[in-house]
Structure 1
Amino acid sequence: MSATVPQPSVERMVPFDRHPLVVGVVPGQDPLVVRTAVQLALATRAPSLHMAFADPARYTVAEHADGSVRHAAIDPDADDEAWRETESALARQVEQAVGGDVPWHLHYLAGRPDRALTHLARAVDAAAVVVGTRAPGSAARLKEFLEGSVAAHLAHHQHRPVLTVPLSVVDWKEIGAPWAR
């Protein structure tokens, strides 16, 4: 017999006031996602922002209580230190977007973004998770069609609110079936 999955409820809510936020970031992402999280952090007096990138080319070896993970490359022939360049570039990207408005931490995670962000949010007792919408383009649409939306997965598999920041909008008149885009 399987255990019951804890459901969202008033008792499980994490107050927005003075609780950190987790922010999903990706290389080259529009700074609007981070700036939106900064504004929410200022409005809720969040002590910090926990920026997180989940590298799908790596897998989690161990999860730690502080939300960090030990990870390794999925490809055994890959340069196991190449991720450090991505981490450095992300740190520069985030620093530029945040400015000096709110303290922040960068977490380099591994695997599925929804699971990695959920683990981090639990670990830091985040009030909410902030993510951007998918990148524009047919490749991104195909990837979302096959894998699903990170925001949708987060909204359905953990109890914290998910703020989805729109990065590209489509005129209502142009909307057709998802497979026709």
Structure 2
Amino acid sequence: MSPVVPQPEPSRLTPFGGHPIVVGVVPALPELVVLTAVSLARATGAVLWFAYADPERVTVEEHPDGTVTHTPVDPDGVAADWRRTDEELRARLAEQLAEVPDVAWQFRYLAGRPDRALTHLARAVDAAAFVIGARTPGVRGRVRELLDGSVAVQLTHHQHRPVLVVPLRVVDWAEPVGPA
């Protein structure tokens, strides 16, 4: 018999007021995702917890403050320097948030599957919701979604917090969708 998985219900609702919002980011860091999160934080008084989950690394240990100890998936492979990615993301966030002194924020560099990593962080900081960007536009985004699945869909199916998905590119309804 498999364990009972807690389901979304009113008793599990985390109020927006006074609770953080977890914002999933990627190295390209679309400004629209950051600005949407800022708008929501201003409306709710939330602290923003930006987080990147590096798929080339795996979590060794999860800590109560939302940080993780991680290691490369392939220790013999030529992996990108995660510290450089961490510094670049922090610098881009600081640049994009320089004009936003009224919103407090943190950044966490996570590892592994983004939906699991973001869920761990949300539990650790008792977040009320998530903000993430829709699939990365273009062929690379479609391939990544095909291989890994949609982070937004995975979050909505595997945890109880609301997920605000920020559209990054829309398709005109007048354009043909499939083969003619």
Q: TM-score, normalised by structure 1?
A: 0.92
CA distance in 2 between counterparts of 1:150 and 1:118 reads 11
Following superposition, the deviation at residue 67 of structure 1 comes to 1.2
Partner secondary structure for residue 173 of structure 1: coil
What does 1:11-30 correspond to in 2, within 5 Å? 11-30=11-30
Identify the residue that residue 104 of structure 1 maps to in structure 2: 105
Identity %: 58
- Are 2:155 and 1:140 aligned? no
Aligned residues between the structures: 177
CA distance in 2 between counterparts of 1:79 and 1:40 reads 39
CA RMSD of aligned residues (A): 1.5
Identify the residue that residue 34 of structure 1 maps to in structure 2: 34
CA distance in 2 between counterparts of 1:30 and 1:175 reads 27
Quick check: 2:52–2:110 contact (8 Å CA) kept in 1? yes
Quick check: 1:72–1:80 contact (8 Å CA) kept in 2? no
Quick check: 1:37–1:130 contact (8 Å CA) kept in 2? yes
Identify the residue that residue 116 of structure 2 maps to in structure 1: 115
Identify the residue that residue 44 of structure 2 maps to in structure 1: 44
CA distance in 2 between counterparts of 1:147 and 1:76 reads 21
Residues 28-85 of structure 1: CA deviation (Å, up to 9, x unaligned): 2211101110110010011x11100000000000011111110001121246781110
Unaligned runs of 5+ in 1: none
Partner secondary structure for residue 86 of structure 1: helix
Residues 3-34 of structure 1: CA deviation (Å, up to 9, x unaligned): 10000000000001111100001112211101
Residues 66-106 of structure 1: CA deviation (Å, up to 9, x unaligned): 11110001121246781110000000111122222311111
Partner secondary structure for residue 174 of structure 1: coil
- Aligned residue type for 2:165: T
- Aligned residue type for 1:103: A
CA distance in 1 between counterparts of 2:78 and 2:61 reads 20
Quick check: 2:56–2:79 contact (8 Å CA) kept in 1? no
- Aligned residue type for 2:145: E
What does 1:54-65 correspond to in 2, within 5 Å? 54-65=53-64
CA distance in 2 between counterparts of 1:144 and 1:162 reads 17
Identify the residue that residue 10 of structure 1 maps to in structure 2: 10
Q: TM-score, normalised by structure 2?
A: 0.93
CA distance in 2 between counterparts of 1:97 and 1:89 reads 12
CA distance in 2 between counterparts of 1:29 and 1:65 reads 26
Partner secondary structure for residue 60 of structure 1: strand
Partner secondary structure for residue 172 of structure 1: coil
